[in-house]
Amino acid sequence: MEHRIIVLGAGYTGAFAAGRLAKRLHPEDVRITLVNAEPDFVERVRMHQVAAGQDLKPRPFAEMFAGTGVELKLAKVTAVDADAKTVALTGASGAETLPYDTLVYALGSGWTDHGVPGAAEHAYEIASRPGALKLRERLARLDAGARVTVVGGGLTGVEAATEFAEARPDLEVALIARGGLGDWVSPKAQAHLRKVFAKLGIEVHEHADVAEVRPDAVVTADGTRIASAATVWTTGFAVHPIAAATTMETTERGQIVADRDMASVSHPDVFAVGDAGFAMGDAGSPLRMSCASGIPMAQNAAEAIVARLTGAKAGRMPLGYFNQCVSLGRSDGLIQYVTGDDRARSASLRGAFAARYKEFVCKGAAWGVANPTYGMPVRRRRIAKAAKPEGSAVKALA
C-alpha cells in the first residue's frame, strides 16, 4: 500500500508542493493526488492585468504534470475531516470522500467585503480569475470619461489602479486609501508612486474610509460621495471557511496555525501552505498572504514531509522577505527592499528597470511551479517502513 498524499489547491503553493513531493519521493511508495477546482494554473498575481484586458499564457495542469506521477483531480473541495483523515470533494462524477495519510492544505484565499454595505453586491474583485474576467467585461463596456474607483491602497490596489489607468487613458481612475498613498514604502519610493500616479492622472483620496458602495458611487465615512461606474475592491484577502469548520486549530481569520515545518499544530498530518496557513517568519512576525512567503512555505512543507517519511534531513528555506515587487502598469514599477519582517529599507528600484524586474519575478514564480526543484537533479527517496500505512507490502528502504 502506498502512502497517500493529497494536496488541496493547485495555486502557486499547492502545485509547487505536489510537484516537489513527486520529484523527491519514490513513485512506488506514494500516491500523490492534487485536487483543484480549475483545469489550469491561474497566475493570480496577474489578475489586475487580466481585468485590464490582457491575455495570459494558458498553463494547463495536464501539461504541467505530465509524466510527474502526480494524479490530478478536477473537483471542488467541500470539507475536510482532520480526525478521520478524509476530504470530501464534488466533481464531474459526483460527490466522493478520499482518505489520506498526509494532507497538504493549499486552498489559498479570496476576497472579503469587510462587511461594508453594498460592497458584495456592487463592487468587483480581482482576487480570482472569474472576478477579474467579470471586471474586464465591465471595463470594456465603459464609455470614455467614466470613473473606475479602486478601493484599497495596498499592493493590489496600487497595481490595479496604475494598470487600469495605463490601459484605459480614456477613463477616470481613482484610488481610495485608508492611509497615505504608499505610506509603507521608503520616502523615495513614495515620491516615485506619487509621480507615476500624477503622470497617469489617477485621482487619489487618502486617509479615507469607504462606508458604503452604491451601484454608481462610493460613499466615504465623512459622507463624501464619489461617482463610480465600476468600483474595484482590493482591501485584503480572506481564506475559505473549510479549515475553520474542522477541529484543526485555526486563527480568527480561519487560517490553519502551523509550525516552522508548516505542519498543523493540532493535526500534524496536515500541512498548511500559502494564504491558507498561518506561520511565523524567521524574524518573529506572522507571514503575510503572498507568493513571496507562500512558495518558501510550500518548499518547507514538502521537505518536511520527505524528511518525515524517509528519515532524510529536511532542507529548510528561510521564511522572510527581501523585497516587495510592485508593477505600475507595464512600463513602470517599484522594487522596495525590505527587512526580513517586511519593513521598508531605504533602497528601492524605480521605473522601467523595476517593471522588467517585476515581470521577471512573475515569470519566475510560474516557472518555479512547473519546475519545483529549479532544474536541480534530486534523488527520489524510498519511504521508511514506519511511515507506510498498515498492511503495507512494500519493502521498506531508508
Ligand X SMILES: Cc1cc2nc3c(=O)[nH]c(=O)nc-3n(C[C@H](O)[C@H](O)[C@H](O)COP(=O)(O)OP(=O)(O)OC[C@H]3O[C@@H](n4cnc5c(N)ncnc54)[C@H](O)[C@@H]3O)c2cc1C
Binding residues for ligand X, rule: CB under 6 A, are 9-14, 35-38, 42, 44-45, 47-48, 76-77, 106-109, 126-127, 156, 159, 240, 274-276, 289-292, 294, 325
**Choice between 276 and 383, CB closer to ligand X:** 276
**Choice between 29 and 275, CB closer to ligand X:** 275
Q: How far is the CB of 127 from ligand X (least distance, A)?
A: 5
Q: How far is the CB of 313 from ligand X (least distance, A)?
A: 26
Residues paired with 344 in a beta bridge: 338
Pair 52, 103: CB distance under 8 Å: no
Q: How far is the CB of 375 from ligand X (least distance, A)?
A: 21
* Residues near 290 by beta carbon (within 8 Å), at least 6 away in sequence: none
Q: Which residue is closest to ligand X by CB? A: 11
Q: How far is the CB of 14 from ligand X (least distance, A)?
A: 5
Q: First and final CA of the chain: distance in angstroms?
A: 17
Q: How far is the CB of 121 from ligand X (least distance, A)?
A: 21
For β-strands 102-105 and 3-8, DSSP reports them as: parallel
**Choice between 11 and 19, CB closer to ligand X:** 11
**Choice between 21 and 387, CB closer to ligand X:** 21
Q: How far is the CB of 65 from ligand X (least distance, A)?
A: 13
**Choice between 11 and 368, CB closer to ligand X:** 11
**Choice between 14 and 368, CB closer to ligand X:** 14
CA-CA-CA-CA torsion for 374, 380, 384, 388, nearest 10 degrees?
Answer: 90
Say which DSSP state 288 is in: P
Half-sphere exposure of 22 (CA within 13 A, CB side): 25
Alpha-carbon distance of 372 to 20, in angstroms, equals: 5
377 burial level (CB within 10 Å; 0-12, 13-18, 19+): exposed
**Choice between 108 and 310, CB closer to ligand X:** 108
From the list 397, 395, 396, 394, the residue with the least C-alpha distance to 2 is 394
Q: How far is the CB of 388 from ligand X (least distance, A)?
A: 28
Q: How far is the CB of 382 from ligand X (least distance, A)?
A: 29
Q: Spell out the alpha helix ranges (H) of 59-186.
A: 61-64, 119-122, 129-141, 155-167
From the list 43, 328, 326, the residue with the least C-alpha distance to 164 is 328
Angle at 281 between CA 337 and CA 292, to 5 degrees: 50
Q: How far is the CB of 29 from ligand X (least distance, A)?
A: 26
**Choice between 127 and 200, CB closer to ligand X:** 127
**Choice between 106 and 354, CB closer to ligand X:** 106
**Choice between 5 and 219, CB closer to ligand X:** 5
| Backbone φ, ψ for residue 360 (5° rounding) | -60, -40
From the list 393, 273, 390, 373, the residue with the least C-alpha distance to 25 is 373
* Residues near 34 by beta carbon (within 8 Å), at least 6 away in sequence: 7, 10, 14, 15, 18, 61, 65, 70, 71, 72, 73
Q: How far is the CB of 134 from ligand X (least distance, A)?
A: 14
